[in-house]
Structure 1
Amino acid sequence: MTTIAVLGANGRIARIAEDMLLAHDDIELTLFIHTEDELGADIKDNPRVTVVKGDAKNPDDVLNAINGADEVYANLAATQDSSADIIPMAKAVVDMMDKAGIKRLVWISSLGIYNEVPGEFGAWNANILGDYLVNYRKAVDVIEASDLDYTIIRPAWLTDKDEVDFEITEKGELFRGTEVSRKSVASEVVELLLDPDKEVRASIGLDKPGTDGDKPEWYRSASTEHLSE
């Protein structure tokens, strides 16, 4: 049996990934949340699920959630108003994974943290996100400076389309499309957790092929609800 700790388990990508992971009978999940409000009864009542409440900025709470896990999937998010909170979250995860002796980490971040998004879309994305990108980059710097077997995922702007359709760009390559479905991101998270030797110490961008442009197709107003959870 493999135990996976999911930090930020109420997130929309995380909830899709949790369902996918529980389809495998040899997976147990520890779900780390602030509240249980958005976890369905089918998740909370599953005998292979343990729910732990706490604050992801608090190292002791993080340690309590990950102790005994084989892998950690961090779906942690901060709003633009509190985007600096992601940095102490990253520090707590790295420090407590070291303390617990856990190596494998899948960390959700954001496109644009390396200034890798070209053209008008890149300028628009940087203008909309501002300090959010600065702080998410600082959090990723913490992860990349660690000795963990991490994979950082940088999704394009997120949609709720019921599809798995994505392409990958590696760190150092220019980002391509403007959007990607949460289901696509969740499917890659699950693949990385089931195959922990894949994309180790890598940072990958995810977008839907053919969605190049100056903005996501669905965009009507600048809303960060379409970002990294």
Structure 2
Amino acid sequence: MRIAVLGASRHTGQSFVSQALASNTNIELTILARTPANLPFPKDQLCQITVVQGDALNKNDVAKAINGADIVVCSLGAKMDGFSKPVDMGVEEAGIMHILDIVKETRADTPPRLIMVSSTGVGTHNDVPWLVRPLYSLLLSAPHGHKARAEIAIKNSGVPYTLVRPAWLTNGDVTKTYRAGDGVRGYTVSRNDVAHFILNECVLETKWVNASPSIAY
């Protein structure tokens, strides 16, 4: 199984790559990285990864990374720095649009499955607890706008997909105690548990094809 990962250099994408390599399954990983020398993986993991140097904002770079992939995992997102303006705003939307364009142009008959890390509260607040809905509206309206447009484009593309919608992300360990499903509400979930869910329920199993599961504790 060949998997391409966009957004593998940090957070959920990084954890997914590490867990996939440790799973002892027949997974071949290709990742897109702006600066391969700065990748956070130890040498024993890097030697098992095909690294394509490039930028998710560059369509040609994305095409090289996803070439021949059975599954594309997109874990791109803006970098939040407190209350300052996010860095790389809209990168997930741009990356998704490139992926969909490339698939339409080159693999319309055999599209890869696309797994996107989105968020609870995108498009609707039905999966967000009442107490934190004002916080989501205040802090996340702009990045969620990009994610919402990406979600709509994916759903309208005809490409098989899974939109993973985690609650507020934390840096906790893998607990396997998360809940996942349509409209699941919760306050937090760790990036490591989201990566565990993607690997075990979306990649190694096909439980959530053409679905948008929310995930939280």
When normalised by structure 1's length, the TM-score is: 0.81
Establish whether residue 168 from structure 1 lines up as the match of residue 180 from structure 2: yes
The answer (yes or no) to whether the contact 2:5–2:75 under 8 Å persists in 1 is: yes
What is the CA distance between 1:164 and its match in structure 2? 2.3
2:19 corresponds in structure 1 to: 20
Alpha-carbon deviation of 1:118? 4.2
Deviation at 1:178, TM superposition (A): 0.7
Change (3 A) 1:25 1:113: closer
3-state secondary structure, aligned to 1:202: coil
Q: Which residue of 2 aligns with 1:85?
A: 91
Structure 2 unaligned residues grouped into runs of 5+: 80-85
Which residue pairs with 1:194 in the alignment? Answer: 204
User: 1:143 and 2:154 equivalent?
Assistant: yes
Task: Determine the C-alpha separation between the residues in 2 that align with 1:142 and 1:109.
Answer: 13
Give the letter aligned to residue 115 of structure 1: T
- Cα–Cα, structure 1 residues 57 and 149, in superposed 2: closer, same or farther, change >3 Å? same
Q: CA deviation at 1:202?
A: 0.8
The one of 134, 138, 149 equivalent to 1:127 is 138
**Is 1:34 equivalent to 2:44 in the alignment?**
no
RMSD over aligned Cα, in angstroms? 1.7
What's the counterpart of residue 4 of structure 1? 3
Residue 78 of structure 1 aligns to a residue in which SS?
coil
How far 1:82 sits from its partner (Å)? 4.1
On the 8 A contact 2:163/2:213 being kept in 1, the answer is: yes
Corresponding residue for 1:205?
A: 214
How big is the shift at 1:138?
Answer: 1.0
Q: Give the percent of matched residue pairs that are identical in Structure 1 and Structure 2.
A: 32
Compare 133-142 and 78-87 and name the one that shifted more: 78-87
Q: Which residue of 2 aligns with 1:68?
A: 68
Cα distance, 1:39 vs structure 2: 2.9
